[in-house]
Structure 1
Amino acid sequence: MTSPGLFITLEGGDGSGKSTQAALLEAWLVGEHRTVVRTREPGGTDFGTEVREIVLHSRGDISPRAEALLYAADRAHHISTKVRPALDRGDVVIQDRYLDSSVAYQGAGRVLDSAEIRRLSLWAAEGLLPDLTILLDLDETEARRRLDGARTRFDRLENEKSEFHARVRAAFLDLAAKEPDRFLVLDASLPAETLAARIRGVVEPLLSRHPAGTDAS
């Protein structure tokens, strides 16, 4: 199912700068008179906020399969109630994390079957894939240094050992290698404005293919 809107996701390990780049991209698109919906998974809806609290901040262990199913439940609701309607209106959706995160974190990180996780995620999202996925690639040691300097409280995934994050990073890079037409891989150690300029350079041509999102005002 196609829609007039433009769907952009940002992926990468914790501390790679996804939120910063999402904010910079949103500001530029608004300046280009585009209607932007900025969201995230989990947490893009009220239901997602509850799921986020469970999977990232609740006490005690969550089994890997239960974790994967909770993310999928959030995704199904989020896509159906927020993302699809925005794309159908012709908006630009900028989303922090999507199904590639599930494949990387619950598949490679939790050592589940990555192909099964991808199938589950696609089923939950009714097959919706982004027009562009921006992968901010960062060495896990540098990512931890950034997190240590910026956070006093770490969530369940951020608290995982370096071996976990190394598996996640490798999985993201493998996904990008398999779908080079969808992924833009960037070195997240570069200055934020340098990264933002490169992202704009790739997004700008896509806007001409999705003119329905233009704000006539």
Structure 2
Amino acid sequence: MDGNECRELVNEYSKAVVKLCGILMKILSVNLGLEEDYLQNAFGGDDIGACLRVNYYPKCPQPDLTLGISPHSDPGGMTILLPDDDVSGLQVRKGEHWVTVEPIPDALIVNLGDQIQVISNAIYKSVEHRVIVNSIKERVSLAYFYNPRGDLLIEPAKKLVSKDRPASYSAMTFDQYRLFIRKSGLWGKSQVESLKCSQ
């Protein structure tokens, strides 16, 4: 495959993933009791931030001594992951334990990020996850990040805030949050939890 063919394939894949994310945003909005287009509008409508990242994890002779990526939740809105069909590596935290997500051929993995947690006033939770490495095989995954526009204030939806359930987070732009993450590093879900308002 030459460079042009690769670009065309990536462009086609990106368009399909953006369409899927738009559908998921509608479903999530309706499930929260909001207008169908609420989350999409909160992200900037059609002017959202999105990027594709290819992750390569070489095989490691001592996988118990390292991680591919340390524990974190994604700072953005939603991550669509196309995992390697042959090698598992993604783990999600369930309580005090890490659970390996076994890849299913032709299936995508959807992780909700911190911005969805904020807008939903913590009704939806971002997924804490990490990546382990393999001693025998290398691993490749494609992560598509679907994020709000950087300059928009992200805050709990007014309809999800009440006297019984006050706003858990103060308003902050996604650009401000990304800067905060870069300065503090990946530390599980401590970043989003540290932003909680005192009740």
Give the shorter-chain TM-score range. Answer: under 0.3
Relative to the length of structure 2, the TM-score reads 0.26
**Which structure features the higher share of helix residues?**
1
Structure with the larger RCO, 1 or 2 (CA within 8 Å, 6+ apart): 1
Relative to the length of structure 1, the TM-score reads 0.24
**Which structure features the higher share of strand residues?**
2
